[in-house]
Copies of this chain bind each other. A is one copy, B any other.
Protein backbone atom coordinates (compact mmCIF):
# COMPACT_ATOMS: atom_id res chain seq x y z
CA UNK A 1 0.00 0.00 0.00
CA UNK A 2 1.43 3.41 -0.89
CA UNK A 3 2.25 5.74 2.00
CA UNK A 4 -0.30 8.31 3.12
CA UNK A 5 0.83 11.87 2.54
CA UNK A 6 -0.81 15.22 2.79
CA UNK A 7 -0.80 17.27 -0.43
CA UNK A 8 -2.12 20.82 -0.09
CA UNK A 9 -3.32 22.80 -3.09
CA UNK A 10 -3.13 26.58 -3.46
CA UNK A 11 -4.25 28.15 -6.74
CA UNK A 12 -6.07 31.05 -8.33
CA UNK A 13 -8.34 28.59 -10.19
CA UNK A 14 -11.45 28.84 -8.00
CA UNK A 15 -13.60 25.78 -7.37
CA UNK A 16 -16.23 26.34 -10.07
CA UNK A 17 -14.16 25.08 -12.98
CA UNK A 18 -12.87 21.57 -13.73
CA UNK A 19 -9.23 22.58 -13.16
CA UNK A 20 -8.79 21.72 -9.49
CA UNK A 21 -10.76 18.49 -9.85
CA UNK A 22 -8.57 17.49 -12.80
CA UNK A 23 -5.47 17.97 -10.65
CA UNK A 24 -7.01 15.86 -7.90
CA UNK A 25 -7.88 13.16 -10.43
CA UNK A 26 -4.28 13.06 -11.65
CA UNK A 27 -2.94 12.88 -8.08
CA UNK A 28 -5.38 10.17 -6.95
CA UNK A 29 -4.82 8.14 -10.12
CA UNK A 30 -1.15 7.88 -9.11
CA UNK A 31 -1.61 7.72 -5.32
CA UNK A 32 -5.12 6.82 -4.15
CA UNK A 33 -3.91 7.18 -0.54
CA UNK A 34 -2.96 10.84 -0.88
CA UNK A 35 -4.76 13.15 1.55
CA UNK A 36 -5.56 16.25 -0.50
CA UNK A 37 -6.31 19.46 1.38
CA UNK A 38 -7.47 22.65 -0.34
CA UNK A 39 -5.40 25.45 1.15
CA UNK A 40 -7.07 28.14 -0.96
CA UNK A 41 -8.24 28.40 -4.54
CA UNK A 42 -9.27 32.02 -4.16
CA UNK A 43 -5.95 33.74 -4.71
CA UNK A 44 -6.85 36.70 -6.90
CA UNK A 45 -6.08 35.89 -10.54
CA UNK A 46 -2.33 35.95 -11.06
CA UNK A 47 -1.52 37.73 -7.77
CA UNK A 48 1.64 35.80 -6.96
CA UNK A 49 2.42 37.72 -3.77
CA UNK A 50 -1.03 37.05 -2.27
CA UNK A 51 -0.59 33.34 -2.97
CA UNK A 52 2.83 33.46 -1.30
CA UNK A 53 1.26 35.11 1.75
CA UNK A 54 -1.48 32.47 2.07
CA UNK A 55 1.15 29.71 1.91
CA UNK A 56 3.20 31.49 4.58
CA UNK A 57 0.11 31.84 6.78
CA UNK A 58 -1.12 28.23 6.55
CA UNK A 59 1.86 25.95 5.90
CA UNK A 60 3.26 26.16 9.47
CA UNK A 61 0.20 24.22 10.69
CA UNK A 62 0.97 21.21 8.51
CA UNK A 63 3.54 18.54 9.36
CA UNK A 64 6.97 18.71 7.68
CA UNK A 65 6.01 15.63 5.66
CA UNK A 66 3.34 17.64 3.84
CA UNK A 67 3.70 18.50 0.15
CA UNK A 68 2.50 21.96 -0.81
CA UNK A 69 1.53 22.34 -4.47
CA UNK A 70 0.83 25.92 -5.56
CA UNK A 71 -0.10 27.35 -8.94
CA UNK A 72 -0.45 31.08 -9.51
CA UNK A 73 1.23 31.21 -12.83
CA UNK A 74 0.73 34.17 -15.16
CA UNK A 75 3.65 33.02 -17.30
CA UNK A 76 2.57 29.39 -17.83
CA UNK A 77 3.69 28.19 -21.24
CA UNK A 78 6.54 30.68 -21.47
CA UNK A 79 10.10 30.04 -20.35
CA UNK A 80 9.54 30.20 -16.58
CA UNK A 81 10.76 27.13 -14.72
CA UNK A 82 8.66 24.69 -12.73
CA UNK A 83 10.41 23.83 -9.47
CA UNK A 84 10.22 21.68 -6.35
CA UNK A 85 11.88 22.48 -3.03
CA UNK A 86 12.46 20.11 -0.13
CA UNK A 87 12.88 22.04 3.12
CA UNK A 88 12.89 21.23 6.84
CA UNK A 89 9.30 22.50 7.06
CA UNK A 90 7.81 20.71 4.04
CA UNK A 91 8.06 20.14 0.31
CA UNK A 92 6.86 22.79 -2.14
CA UNK A 93 6.07 22.62 -5.86
CA UNK A 94 5.11 25.46 -8.16
CA UNK A 95 6.30 27.95 -10.75
CA UNK A 96 9.64 29.68 -10.07
CA UNK A 97 8.10 33.12 -9.73
CA UNK A 98 8.27 33.82 -5.99
CA UNK A 99 5.06 31.95 -5.12
CA UNK A 100 7.03 29.42 -3.05
CA UNK A 101 8.87 32.06 -1.03
CA UNK A 102 7.38 30.66 2.19
CA UNK A 103 9.63 27.65 1.67
CA UNK A 104 12.71 29.78 2.26
CA UNK A 105 14.07 31.20 5.52
CA UNK A 106 13.86 34.91 6.09
CA UNK A 107 17.58 35.61 5.82
CA UNK A 108 17.65 34.03 2.38
CA UNK A 109 14.74 36.16 1.25
CA UNK A 110 16.15 39.36 2.68
CA UNK A 111 18.49 39.48 -0.33
CA UNK A 112 15.46 40.22 -2.51
CA UNK A 113 14.14 43.70 -3.13
CA UNK A 114 10.41 44.46 -3.30
CA UNK A 115 9.93 43.05 -6.79
CA UNK A 116 11.75 39.86 -5.84
CA UNK A 117 15.12 38.52 -6.96
CA UNK A 118 17.01 35.34 -7.65
CA UNK A 119 18.48 34.07 -4.39
CA UNK A 120 20.82 31.16 -3.62
CA UNK A 121 19.20 28.20 -1.88
CA UNK A 122 20.37 27.61 1.69
CA UNK A 123 22.16 24.38 2.53
CA UNK A 124 19.15 22.65 4.04
CA UNK A 125 16.92 23.22 1.00
CA UNK A 126 17.17 20.96 -2.04
CA UNK A 127 15.74 22.43 -5.24
CA UNK A 128 15.08 20.84 -8.62
CA UNK A 129 13.60 21.99 -11.91
CA UNK A 130 10.70 19.72 -12.87
CA UNK A 131 12.22 18.97 -16.26
CA UNK A 132 12.29 15.17 -16.24
CA UNK A 133 9.60 14.30 -18.81
CA UNK A 134 9.24 10.83 -17.33
CA UNK A 135 7.18 12.36 -14.51
CA UNK A 136 5.09 14.65 -16.69
CA UNK A 137 1.59 13.79 -17.79
CA UNK A 138 1.80 13.51 -21.58
CA UNK A 139 1.04 15.47 -23.65
CA UNK A 140 1.98 18.51 -21.54
CA UNK A 141 -0.52 21.29 -22.15
CA UNK A 142 0.86 24.78 -22.82
CA UNK A 143 -1.66 26.27 -20.40
CA UNK A 144 -2.15 23.83 -17.54
CA UNK A 145 1.09 22.76 -15.90
CA UNK A 146 -0.86 22.32 -12.65
CA UNK A 147 -2.41 19.18 -14.09
CA UNK A 148 0.41 17.96 -16.34
CA UNK A 149 3.61 18.80 -14.41
CA UNK A 150 2.90 19.80 -10.79
CA UNK A 151 0.17 17.29 -9.92
CA UNK A 152 2.05 14.19 -11.13
CA UNK A 153 5.27 15.46 -9.48
CA UNK A 154 3.48 15.90 -6.15
CA UNK A 155 1.89 12.46 -6.45
CA UNK A 156 5.22 10.80 -7.21
CA UNK A 157 6.86 12.59 -4.26
CA UNK A 158 4.04 11.39 -2.01
CA UNK A 159 4.81 7.84 -3.16
CA UNK A 160 8.39 8.23 -2.00
CA UNK A 161 10.18 9.18 -5.22
CA UNK A 162 13.45 11.02 -4.42
CA UNK A 163 13.08 14.72 -5.20
CA UNK A 164 16.19 14.63 -7.35
CA UNK A 165 14.54 12.20 -9.77
CA UNK A 166 12.09 14.93 -10.81
CA UNK A 167 14.71 16.94 -12.67
CA UNK A 168 17.98 18.87 -12.57
CA UNK A 169 19.17 20.33 -9.30
CA UNK A 170 18.93 24.13 -9.13
CA UNK A 171 20.98 26.36 -6.87
CA UNK A 172 18.99 29.59 -7.16
CA UNK A 173 15.29 30.40 -7.25
CA UNK A 174 13.22 33.55 -7.57
CA UNK A 175 12.05 34.80 -4.14
CA UNK A 176 10.01 37.63 -2.73
CA UNK A 177 11.33 39.60 0.25
CA UNK A 178 10.07 38.58 3.72
CA UNK A 179 6.60 39.74 4.72
CA UNK A 180 7.91 42.38 7.13
CA UNK A 181 7.39 46.10 7.35
CA UNK A 182 10.43 48.35 6.87
CA UNK A 183 11.59 50.40 9.84
CA UNK A 184 12.09 54.05 8.90
CA UNK A 185 14.85 56.23 10.35
CA UNK A 186 12.26 57.87 12.65
CA UNK A 187 11.38 54.42 14.07
CA UNK A 188 7.95 54.12 12.43
CA UNK A 189 7.11 50.86 10.62
CA UNK A 190 6.20 51.30 6.96
CA UNK A 191 4.21 48.36 5.65
CA UNK A 192 1.24 47.53 3.45
CA UNK A 193 -1.89 45.43 3.17
CA UNK A 194 -1.02 41.96 1.81
CA UNK A 195 -4.38 40.18 2.13
CA UNK A 196 -8.02 41.02 2.77
CA UNK A 197 -10.00 38.24 4.37
CA UNK A 198 -13.68 37.33 4.01
CA UNK A 199 -14.63 39.52 6.96
CA UNK A 200 -13.00 42.52 5.30
CA UNK A 201 -10.14 42.47 7.82
CA UNK A 202 -6.99 44.04 6.36
CA UNK A 203 -3.99 41.79 6.96
CA UNK A 204 -0.70 43.71 6.79
CA UNK A 205 2.97 42.73 6.62
CA UNK A 206 3.61 44.42 9.99
CA UNK A 207 4.69 41.72 12.43
CA UNK A 208 3.52 41.57 16.01
CA UNK A 209 7.08 40.98 17.16
CA UNK A 210 8.15 44.32 15.64
CA UNK A 211 5.64 46.21 17.81
CA UNK A 212 7.33 47.38 21.01
CA UNK A 213 4.07 47.79 22.95
CA UNK A 214 0.30 48.06 22.63
CA UNK A 215 0.54 51.85 22.55
CA UNK A 216 0.69 52.39 18.80
CA UNK A 217 -0.93 54.62 16.23
CA UNK A 218 -1.80 53.04 12.91
CA UNK A 219 -2.25 55.30 9.90
CA UNK A 220 -4.07 53.99 6.84
CA UNK A 221 -5.76 56.11 4.20
CA UNK A 222 -6.87 59.27 5.95
CA UNK A 223 -7.56 57.46 9.21
CA UNK A 224 -5.69 56.99 12.47
CA UNK A 225 -6.29 54.08 14.83
CA UNK A 226 -5.05 54.28 18.41
CA UNK A 227 -3.88 51.28 20.43
CA UNK A 228 -3.50 47.54 19.79
CA UNK A 229 -6.45 45.43 20.93
CA UNK A 230 -6.48 41.74 21.81
CA UNK A 231 -9.70 40.63 20.11
CA UNK A 232 -12.26 41.69 17.52
CA UNK A 233 -15.01 42.22 20.09
CA UNK A 234 -13.02 44.47 22.40
CA UNK A 235 -14.18 47.87 21.17
CA UNK A 236 -16.46 49.30 18.48
CA UNK A 237 -15.14 51.01 15.34
CA UNK A 238 -11.87 50.47 13.53
CA UNK A 239 -9.59 48.22 15.53
CA UNK A 240 -5.91 47.28 15.19
CA UNK A 241 -4.93 43.90 16.54
CA UNK A 242 -2.31 41.20 16.13
CA UNK A 243 -4.07 38.58 14.00
CA UNK A 244 -3.81 34.85 14.31
CA UNK A 245 -0.98 34.60 11.79
CA UNK A 246 1.21 37.01 13.72
CA UNK A 247 0.58 40.05 11.55
CA UNK A 248 -1.09 43.37 12.36
CA UNK A 249 -4.69 43.44 11.16
CA UNK A 250 -7.13 46.31 10.85
CA UNK A 251 -10.71 45.26 11.55
CA UNK A 252 -14.11 46.90 11.93
CA UNK A 253 -16.15 45.21 14.63
CA UNK A 254 -19.26 43.66 13.10
CA UNK A 255 -18.44 44.92 9.60
CA UNK A 256 -15.77 45.23 6.90
CA UNK A 257 -12.73 47.46 7.39
CA UNK A 258 -11.93 47.10 3.68
CA UNK A 259 -15.31 48.57 2.74
CA UNK A 260 -15.17 51.28 5.44
CA UNK A 261 -11.71 52.41 4.34
CA UNK A 262 -12.21 51.67 0.63
CA UNK A 263 -8.70 50.25 0.35
CA UNK A 264 -7.28 47.27 -1.49
CA UNK A 265 -4.29 44.93 -1.28
CA UNK A 266 -1.11 47.04 -1.53
CA UNK A 267 -2.46 49.98 0.52
CA UNK A 268 0.35 51.57 2.61
CA UNK A 269 0.16 51.31 6.40
CA UNK A 270 2.25 53.28 8.88
CA UNK A 271 2.68 52.28 12.53
CA UNK A 272 4.09 54.74 15.08
CA UNK A 273 4.98 53.83 18.64
CA UNK A 274 3.81 55.52 21.81
Contacts and interface: CB of A to CB of B under 8 A. Distances in A.
B28 A6 contact: yes
Contact of A233 (B62, B75, B254): B75
Contacts of A8: 21, 25
B29 A32 contact: no
A46 to B, nearest CB: 7
Interface in A121-149: 141-144, 147
A161 interface: no
Nearest to A54: B18
Each complex incorporates copies of this chain amounting to 3
A39 interface: yes
A143 B246 CA distance: 11
29 contacts: A4-B32, A6-B32, A15-B38, A15-B41, A16-B40, A18-B57, A18-B58, A21-B38, A21-B40, A21-B58, A22-B57, A22-B61, A24-B37, A25-B37, A25-B60, A29-B62, A74-B232, A75-B233, A77-B231, A77-B233, A77-B234, A78-B233, A141-B244, A142-B230, A142-B231, A142-B241, A142-B242, A143-B232, A143-B241
A77 B26 CA distance: 36
A244 B57 contact: no
With a 10 A CB-CB cut-off, give which of A58, A66, A141, A199 has the most chain B CB atoms: A58
Interface of A is mostly: loop
A39 B45 CA distance: 20
Interface in A15-65: 15-19, 21-26, 28-29, 32-33, 35-42, 45-46, 54, 57-63
A61 B152 CA distance: 11
